[in-house]
């Protein structure tokens, strides 16, 4: 039904194009990623998987330059380890989970219209992202990147920008079988006072009508303040966001939760030092929900605290983290830049104060000529060995990417 709705929408949009609005130019683009991943989890057999994900698309600019069209297909294949992992398509619960099964799908299909310098409209299957993807985003850590069936209206004048989104389907990975029906209205506005001060405000009316996911339905509203400046030769960036959330729409549970997400980072030449403190509240039954968000990395790369749109256990989560990293550009015809870093996290239940363990994440990322990238990453979660806490988990990734 929702795919039919998307086809009708794009077909109607195409019918409204001027007769002379034929393709003026076409651009083919691609994004390819091979990844080897292993997971060691207490109580499970070790899992491993080697997969190759490809995205291939075309972008048309029409003779009437106010119109453009983009379509993109996405595919993932398993090269090895298919019988040594647990996935939502092929459950092997004795193994740890690496949820990257084989799939092929239409990832994006969007028609854009820009009538003037202030307004733009996009309809169809597309990526969405507000406030660093913290509550609304298109997560792409797994091989299937989430997209959204939606209509988006943007207004921009000077330092002010506002967006309205009507959203009727979340295209969750992996493949088409995990999609959720929605009835969502998103309102978002930004105002850049200066480089040192940017203000954002938002109201998100999120109704998840998918059976079994009703209690992810919510009304979320809040504000964000970001900025950057220099203290001598030291660069300073900060980011503070607060959001309140209550049950609405199809929700059958009563809840009233909050989210605080704050951080500050200092940089000098190639070195970076950052501190962060995030608090996701929970009442013991329901925590602050993020059904449309990019959750990976918001509470550690091991992803022990979220899944299925939830960003914390029922008693909420406090996450204090420290990051140190160093990187540099390289004067070479092959390697362009590199960065290595380490993140330490300490977790605690927001509602009860229970210790929820620690995690160490580390990475080395290399950028090569011609948009080739290579990264090595590890996430090691060490819990308190208590019944209320997740099992210990260690993940390793080696990822090779190429874009054109």
- Give 111-169 pLDDT, tens digit per residue: 999 999 999 999 999 999 999 899 999 988 999 999 999 999 999 999 999 999 999 99
User: Would you tell me how many other CB atoms lie within 10 Å of the CB of residue 318?
Assistant: 20
Q: Spell out where 281-404 has E strands.
A: 317-329, 335-348, 355-368, 372-382, 393-403
Q: Is 205 helix (H, G, I), strand (E, B) or coil?
A: strand
- 249-262: pLDDT as tens digits: 999 999 999 999 99
Distance between CA atoms of 347 and 62, rounded to whole angstroms?
A: 51
**Omega within 30 of 0 (cis) for the link into 153:** no
pLDDT value, residue 309: 47
Residue range(s) defining the domain that contains residue 344: 2-403
Q: What is the CATH number of the domain that holds 153?
A: 2.40.160.10
One-character DSSP codes across 346-381: EEE-TTT--EEEEEEEEEEEEEEGGGEEEEEEEEEE
pTM beyond cutoff 0.85: yes
User: What phi, psi does 61 have (nearest 5°)?
Assistant: -105, 125
Regions of the chain where pLDDT drops below 70: 1-23, 307-311
pLDDT value, residue 64: 79
pLDDT value, residue 266: 98
pLDDT value, residue 207: 97
pLDDT value, residue 237: 98
Number of domains in the chain: 1
pLDDT value, residue 298: 86
- Find where tokens 């106010």 sit: 66
Q: C-alpha distances in angstroms, 33 versus 54, 75, 77, 351, 375? A: 6, 11, 11, 40, 11
pLDDT value, residue 92: 97
- 292-322: pLDDT as tens digits: 987 788 899 999 987 544 457 899 999 999 9
């Amino acid at each position: 039904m929702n795919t039919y709705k998307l086809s009708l929408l794009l077909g109607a949009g195409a019918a409204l194009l001027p007769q002379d609005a034929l393709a003026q130019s076409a651009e083919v683009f691609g994004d390819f990623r091979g990844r080897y991943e292993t997971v060691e989890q207490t109580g499970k057999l070790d899992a491993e998987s080697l997969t190759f994900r490809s995205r291939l698309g075309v972008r048309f600019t029409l003779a009437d330059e106010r119109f453009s069209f983009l379509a993109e297909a996405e595919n993932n294949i398993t090269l090895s380890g298919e019988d040594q992992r647990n996935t939502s398509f092929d459950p092997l619960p004795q193994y740890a989970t690496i949820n990257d099964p084989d799939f092929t799908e239409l990832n994006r299909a969007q028609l854009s219209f820009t009538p003037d310098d202030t307004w733009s409209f996009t309809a169809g299957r597309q990526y969405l992202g507000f406030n660093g993807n913290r509550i609304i985003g298109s997560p792409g850590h797994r091989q299937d990147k989430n997209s959204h069936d939606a209509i988006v209206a943007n207004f921009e004048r000077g330092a002010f920008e506002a967006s309205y989104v009507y959203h009727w389907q979340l295209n969750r990975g992996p493949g088409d079988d995990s999609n959720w029906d929605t009835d969502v209205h998103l309102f978002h506005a930004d105002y850049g006072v200066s480089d040192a001060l940017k203000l954002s405000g938002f109201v998100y009316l999120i109704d998840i009508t998918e059976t079994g996911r009703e209690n992810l339905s919510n009304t979320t509203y809040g504000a964000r303040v970001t900025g950057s400046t220099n203290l001598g030769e030291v660069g300073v960036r900060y980011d503070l966001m607060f959001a309140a959330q209550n049950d609405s729409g199809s929700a059958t549970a009563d809840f009233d939760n909050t989210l605080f997400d704050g951080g500050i980072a200092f940089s000098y030449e190639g070195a970076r030092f950052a501190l962060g403190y995030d608090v996701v509240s929970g009442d013991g039954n329901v925590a602050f929900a993020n059904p449309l968000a990019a959750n990976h990395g918001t509470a550690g790369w091991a992803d022990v605290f979220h899944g299925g749109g939830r960003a914390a256990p029922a008693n909420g989560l406090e996450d204090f983290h420290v990051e140190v990293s160093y990187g540099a550009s390289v004067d070479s015809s092959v390697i362009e830049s590199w960065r290595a870093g380490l993140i330490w996290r300490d977790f605690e239940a927001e509602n009860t104060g229970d210790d929820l363990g620690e995690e160490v994440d580390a990475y080395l990322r290399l950028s090569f000529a011609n948009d080739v990238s290579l990264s090595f990453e590890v996430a090691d979660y060490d819990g308190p060995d208590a019944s209320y806490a997740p099992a210990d988990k260690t993940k390793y990734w080696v990822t090779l990417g190429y874009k054109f």
